[in-house]
């Protein structure tokens, strides 16, 4: 998996315009049909979803939807978002459970 993390770190580095090296990985929920991870360099954590390269169109559509939510100014937005051949990634504020499903639903309504 080290090669996978190095490739993802390179994509993130290019997108954010500064070096990012993976120091810690952890499996997290939220991937549904994908594998989901938190990747951290010790200061910044990115939520990353992995799937097969054939799913790139799905990730591109998800990224477009996320950007629309950001443009609506109704929820706190990720600072960085992007997708690559096997991944979609987001800058995360924290990886903790939501306070309540109804609160999230009201923010998205």
Neighbouring CB atoms inside 10 A of 22's CB total 20
Please provide the average confidence, as pLDDT, over all residues in the chain. Answer: 77
Indicate the fold that domain 2-108 takes in CATH. Phosphorylase Kinase; domain 1 (3.30.200)
Check residue 100 and give its pLDDT: 58
Check residue 66 and give its pLDDT: 78
Share of the chain above pLDDT 90, in %: 14
pLDDT, one tens digit per residue, over 35-87 is 888 899 998 888 888 888 888 888 888 878 878 877 888 776 666 677 766 66
CA distance 7 to 3: 6
Check residue 20 and give its pLDDT: 92
The torsion angles phi and psi of 11, rounded to 5 degrees, stand at -65, -45
């Amino acid at each position: 998996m080290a090669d996978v993390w190095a490739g993802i770190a390179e994509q993130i580095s290019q997108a954010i315009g500064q070096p990012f090296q993976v120091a810690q990985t952890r499996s997290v929920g939220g991937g549904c049909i994908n594998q989901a991870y938190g990747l951290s360099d010790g200061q910044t954590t990115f939520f990353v979803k992995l799937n097969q390269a054939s799913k790139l169109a799905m990730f591109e559509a998800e990224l477009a939807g996320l950007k629309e939510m950001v443009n609506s100014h109704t929820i706190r937005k990720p600072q960085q978002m992007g997708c690559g051949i096997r991944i979609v990634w987001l800058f995360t504020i924290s990886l903790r459970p939501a306070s309540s499903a109804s609160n999230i639903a009201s923010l998205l309504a």
